Amino acid sequence: MVDSKKIISTYKNIKLSGANVTVPHKEYAFNLCDEVQGIAQKIGAVNTLVTKKGKIIGLNTDASGFYRSIESFKDIKSALILGAGGTAKAISFILNENSIRTTILNRSKDRLDFFEKAGFENFSWDNFEIKKFDIIINTTSAGLKDETFPLDKAVLSNLMSKSKYAFDVVYGRNTPFLKLAKQNSLLSKDGSDMLLHQASIAFNHFFGNIYDLDIIENYMKKSFFL
């Protein structure tokens, strides 16, 4: 794996003009690029690098990619995000920018400081009280390679019984979270569309945003779902 500290020097050495950055390098790249634009400034992580006039610009397309992937979910006014890592940061700010009241629930307290300072309602498992949210979003890696839930199953089931939608950022896997959502008759999605959309938005940045996103996505889908 590439050493995070070498992300930018590697980018320069191999003369790239655009690149996607993935876990665990997004925060490092944020600190090392020449300029950070858009919502990435709030998130503190970039997943896209583009060279413009000799400067390396950092952007975050996870946020807009996520939002584009929930466009079919109508009338969302409140959201509960499970987890408080980099993906939770991206999703929380884009929801907030779209006037969706967003609450963060994390297993432990440490990572909640960031959200507290940013003004988000936040809880750890210790002090959370169940209430109604329109959408529940799993940003933890629970269920990625195992059969675990991101939250106590009974608490999650209770939350889902009051909710309309569920979204798991994990893709290509019917996670325990998604299975429980279906049992509770929620409309649900895994992270495949988010992956596709963040990539198509990044691709458009590489080429000066001259293309129609729908057209990029039609081409990408053909290789993505092979």
Ligand X SMILES: NC(=O)c1ccc[n+]([C@@H]2O[C@H](COP(=O)([O-])OP(=O)(O)OC[C@H]3O[C@@H](n4cnc5c(N)ncnc54)[C@H](OP(=O)(O)O)[C@@H]3O)[C@@H](O)[C@H]2O)c1
Site mask for ligand X (CB under 6 A), range 59-78, x = bound: ---x----------------
Record the tokens describing residue 168, joined without a space. Answer: 């798991």
Among 144, 187, 213, 220, binds ligand X (CB under 6 A): 144
Q: How far is the CB of 199 from ligand X (least distance, A)?
A: 8
| Residue 127 burial class via C-beta count within 10 angstroms: exposed 0-12, middle 13-18, buried 19 and up | exposed
Which residue number, 56 or 137, has a Cβ lying nearer to ligand X?
A: 137
Which residue number, 144 or 220, has a Cβ lying nearer to ligand X?
A: 144
CB of 79 within 8 A of CB of 133? yes
CB of 27 within 8 A of CB of 44? yes
Among 160, 194, 202, 216, binds ligand X (CB under 6 A): 194
* 169 makes contact with ligand X (CB under 6 A): yes
Task: Report the site for ligand X in 196-225 (rule: CB under 6 A).
Answer: 198
* 111 makes contact with ligand X (CB under 6 A): yes
Q: How far is the CB of 95 from ligand X (least distance, A)?
A: 15
β-strand partners of 55: 52
Q: How far is the CB of 78 from ligand X (least distance, A)?
A: 20
* 36 makes contact with ligand X (CB under 6 A): no
Task: Give the C-alpha separation, 83 to 130, whole Å.
Answer: 16
* 108 makes contact with ligand X (CB under 6 A): yes
Q: How far is the CB of 34 from ligand X (least distance, A)?
A: 24
Q: In a 3-state reduction of DSSP, which class is residue 51?
A: strand
Which residue number, 51 or 151, has a Cβ lying nearer to ligand X?
A: 151
CB of 11 within 8 A of CB of 19? yes
**Beta strand residue intervals within 37-134, DSSP E:** 48-52, 55-59, 78-82, 101-106, 121-124
Which residue's Cβ has the minimum distance to ligand X?
85
**Amino acid letter at 140?**
T
Q: How far is the CB of 165 from ligand X (least distance, A)?
A: 16
Q: What is the DSSP letter of 33?
A: S
Which residue number, 195 or 216, has a Cβ lying nearer to ligand X?
A: 195
Select from 20, 6, 7 the least CA-distant residue to 220: 20
